[in-house]
Amino acid sequence: MEIDKAIRESGDQRLKTKFNNAIYVIQRALALYSIEEVAFSFNGGKDSTVLLHLLRAGYFLHKGEQSYSNGGLTNFPVRTIYFESSSAFTEINSFTYDIASLYGLQLDIIRTDFKSGLEALLKAKPIRAIFLGVRIGDPTAVGQEQFSPSSPGWPPFMRVNPILDWSYRDVWAFILTCKVQYCSLYDQGYTSIGSIHDTVPNALLCISDSSSSKEKFKPAYLLSDGRLERAGRVKKISPSVHGRSPTVANGMDIVDSQKHGMRTASVIAVGDEILSGTVEDQLGPSLCKKLHSIGWSVTQTAVVQNDVDSVAEEVERRKSANNMVFIYGGVGPLHSDVTSAGVAKAFGVRLAPDEEFEEYLRNFIGDHCTGDRNEMAQLPEGITELFHHEQLPVPLIKCQNVIILAATNITELDKEWTCLLELLGSSDSLALMEPFTSKILTTNLPDVEVAQPLSKLCLEFPDLHIGKIFLDFWVVQSNIFISLSNCGLCKFKGVIANQGKRFLLLVSKARAKHELILQ
C-alpha cells in the first residue's frame, strides 16, 4: 500500500517508530473486534486525517497484501462517523465529503450533539470500539490509554487511540511524507481547528507585509513549536463573578482584581533547605518584583517541603485562585525533585514520558537521560506545553496556568523570565498589563496618629490596602493604585488628580503641623 511504502522509504526513524506502534494498536483492535464492531470518528482535522490513512494501512496489512492486486484500497470497510455541525467551517465539511468519496468511506452523519448522536448510533449498530484521533495534549486526552473504556455516563464502547503519543511534529511529518490530502485551512495559518466561533489563524504564523492590508499566514506545518498549536483557539471570557463588598477592607480580593482586569499570581518555592534556614530564598522576591514590573499582583508566596502531597496541595489551592502560578525548586533527577509529580497530582493526571522533552534533555545532558534514569522526561500528562527558546538549553514547562521554572539562581531566573516574556508576553497567559508608575509618600507621623485618618480611607475605599512604613502610588491610565510597599495592590476609582488631592487632604487634616511630602 502507498502509505506503508512511503513510511518504509522515509529516513525519519522517529516517524517509522510512531507508524509501527500505531499500526500495532490498529491490528490489535481489528483482531479483538470484527469489522462490523468497529467505527472511526472523523472530523476533517489533521489528526483524524492521519488516523484515516493509518487505518487504511492497518486494515490493508491486517488482511494481507496478497488480497489486493491494485496496491491500495478502493473502498474502506470501517464505518466512519461524522458529526456535522452548523458551526463547522465550510472547508471542513467540503474536505470531509471529498475524502469520503475518494476513499469510499461509509459515512454515518450525525447532526445532533455528540453524546446523543453516539447513543442513538450504538443502539442501532453493533459497534463496540471506536478509533479516535486523540493525542496527548488534547483536552480530552487526560487519563486515556491506547485502549480506554468510555467515561461513566456515556454509552459503553472501547476508545482506541492509535496516535495518543504522537506530537504535532509527528502528525505533519506523516502528512508530508505520505503526501496525503488535508484540509485547506491548514495552509491559511490554522493549526488547531474547532468551530467558526472559537478558531482563528495562529498569530505565530502571521507574515508581516506592510504593502497589504490583509493578514497573511504561513502554513500550519511551519509552526516551529508544536506545543503552541492551540494558540489559534479563541479563549472565551468567563462571566463576571460578583463577590461580596466588605464594609471595611484592607486590600483588593481576587474577585475584585479579576473584575477590574488585574492579573494575579502566586509564587511557590519547593525546598526543605529553605524551610530549615540553610539556604535563603532569593528567587521568590526577585520573581515578585518581575511580576510587579509587568502590572501583575502577587497574592501570595509560599515555601513547601520536598514532598509530592505538599506540592500538590499548595498548587491545587493556588491554581484556581490566580491567573498564573509560578513554582520553582524540586526540579531535576534526584529523588527529592518532586515538583512535576506534585503538579500532576494537583491536576489529577499522571506523569507520562514526553518524547519531545526527552530529545531536548538528551541534547543537553547526553545519553544519561535514557532508560530507567529518564525521570526528568516525565511530565504531567495531557496538560503540558513546552515553550522552547534559543537562549534556553531545555524548554520552559507550562501546565495549564502553572509554570514550572528550572532556575536555581538569579542569573538563571533572569534569563528564563526574559524568554517567558518573549514567548508569552503577547498571549493571554502572561499578558503585559499597563506598567505602574511608583511614587513614595513619606511622613514623620507615628502610627498611632495616622491610624484614624487611614481607617477613614479604608471605609470610603474598601479596596484600599494599607500597611506600614511606605505608601506607594501606582498610576494606571485614569486609576490610582495605593498600597504599602510590602503589601498587595488595591484600587482607587475615579480621576487621578481628584483622588490624589483628596488623599493628601485627609491625611494632612489629621495633624496640620505635619506635612506629607510627595517625592
Give the pLDDT confidence of 385-435 residue by residue, as tens digits: 888 888 888 888 999 899 999 899 999 999 999 999 988 877 777 877 766
Mean pLDDT across 431-452? 65
C-alpha dihedral sign at 211, 215, 217, 223: positive
Short-list 56, 50, 57, CA closest to 171: 50
CA 487 from centre of chain = 30
CA distance 9 to 3: 10
CA triplet 51, 55, 58: central angle to 5 degrees? 135
What is the pLDDT averaged over residues 375-390? 80
**H/E element, 166:** none
Contact 467, 498 (CB under 8 A): no
Report pLDDT for 245. Answer: 35
Q: Give the distance from CA 332 to its chain's centroid.
A: 22
Mean pLDDT of 455-462: 67
The radius of gyration of the chain's CA atoms, rounded to the nearest angstrom, is 28
Asked if 260 and 233 count as a contact pair (C-beta separation under 8 A), the reply is: no
Beginning with the edge strand found earlier in the chain, give each strand of the sheet holding 324-328 in spatial order: 296-304, 263-270, 324-328, 402-405, 396-399, 384-387
In this predicted structure, the answer to whether residue 130 has a pLDDT above a threshold of 60 is yes
Reduced to 3 states, what is the DSSP secondary structure of residue 40? strand
d(CA 278, CA 273): 5
Assess contact for 355 and 374: CB atoms under 8 A.
no
C-alpha–C-alpha distance, residues 149 and 128, integer Å: 10
CA atoms within 13 A on the CB side of 80: 26
Q: Residue 244's pLDDT is what?
A: 35
What pLDDT is stored for residue 372 in this prediction?
Answer: 40
The end-to-end CA distance of the chain, in Å, is: 78
Among 37-41, 137-141, 345-349, which is the least confidently predicted range?
137-141
Res 167: pLDDT: 85
Place of cell 538549553: 393
pLDDT at 235 over 60: no
Residue 77 pLDDT exceeds 80: yes
The fraction of the chain above a pLDDT of 70, given in percent, is: 72
Q: Do β-strands 491-492 and 479-484 pair in parallel, antiparallel, or remain unpaired?
A: antiparallel
For residues 447 and 32, give the distance between their C-alpha atoms in angstroms, rounded to a whole number.
Answer: 78
Query: How many Å apart are CA 53 and CA 103, to the nearest integer?
Result: 10
Q: What whole-number distance in Å separates Cα of residue 124 and Cα of residue 112?
A: 15
Asked whether residue 246 carries a pLDDT value surpassing 50, the answer given is no
Question: Whole-angstrom Cα distance, residue 81 to residue 92?
Answer: 14
For the cut 80, the answer to whether the pLDDT of residue 206 exceeds it is yes
The mean pLDDT of 195-207, rounded to a whole number, is 89
**Residue 333 — very low, low, confident or very high, per pLDDT cuts 50/70/90?**
low
pLDDT mean across residues, the chain: 77
Could you give the angle at the alpha carbon of 317 between the alpha carbons of 312 and 322, nearest 5°? 120
Phi-psi region of 179 (alpha: psi -120 to 50; beta: other; left: phi over 0): left
Q: Give the SS3 label for residue 85.
A: coil
pLDDT at position 190 is 94
Beta bridge pairs of residue 353: 378
- pLDDT, position 239: 38
Q: At what angle do helices 496-510 and 447-460 cross, to 10 degrees?
A: 140
The three-state secondary structure class of 367 is helix
Percentage of the chain exceeding pLDDT 90:
36
pLDDT for res 230: 80
Q: How many residues does the chain have?
A: 519
CB 229 within 8 A of CB 246: no
Give 199's DSSP letter.
B
Q: What are 267-293's pLDDT values in tens digits?
A: 999 999 999 999 999 999 999 989 988
pLDDT value for 501: 34
Task: Could you list the beta-strand ranges (E) of 305-391.
Answer: 324-328, 351-353, 378-380, 384-387
